[in-house]
Amino acid sequence: MTRVTCHYCGLPFKVRRVELERKYFCCTGCAMASRVPVDEKGQFPVNSHLITALVAGFLFFNQLLLWLVAELLVRESRMALAVRFFWLAGGAALATWLTLAVLQWKERAARLPDFVFMAFGMVVFGLALRRCPPMPLEMAVANLVLIIWVFRGFLRKRIAG
């Protein structure tokens, strides 16, 4: 394995093969951030990379919102409606996972640890969906971990160059 540095943040990591003139990124967040151009004023155009990231955030927010509504309905003893909202929260969780998977596929920066984290998220979803209704807390935590993992490049500063 050959050591390279991330084109966006400069973090060193290892790859199996090094191709000349190829830009390497340590994570999907760095790959996406490098593909969103920013001008001198800090303005950036809307592009498909940014839209996909925003969709993931929107779906995660709605997952949490649907879960909150379901919990409030449980407190009001409206169980039939609460179960529907728990299922909707589970659907939003799966949609968030799928959006993150599409983002990683689109950016072409995923490595083995990324696939392990995504598989871990799917295992947690499988365990949460075994119960009726599904457990949104487990899915929310799994999606939060996945979002932090996928976008960890945003936590680092861009290197000059």
- CA-to-CA distance for 14 and 1, rounded, in angstroms? 6
- Give the containing element (helix H, strand E) for 157: none
pLDDT tens across 35-60, in order?
A: 877 777 777 778 888 888 899 999 99
- CA-to-CA distance for 49 and 6, rounded, in angstroms? 18
Query: Could you tell me if 49 and 36 are in contact, meaning their C-beta atoms sit under 8 angstroms apart?
Result: yes
Looking at per-residue confidence, does 15 or 75 come out higher?
75
Q: Which amino acid is at 150?
A: V
pLDDT tens across 87-126, in order?
A: 999 999 999 999 999 988 888 888 888 899 999 999 999 8
Cα dihedral value 56, 58, 64, 65, nearest 10: -160
Note the pTM of the prediction, 2 decimals: 0.84
Domain boundaries along the sequence of the chain: 2-155
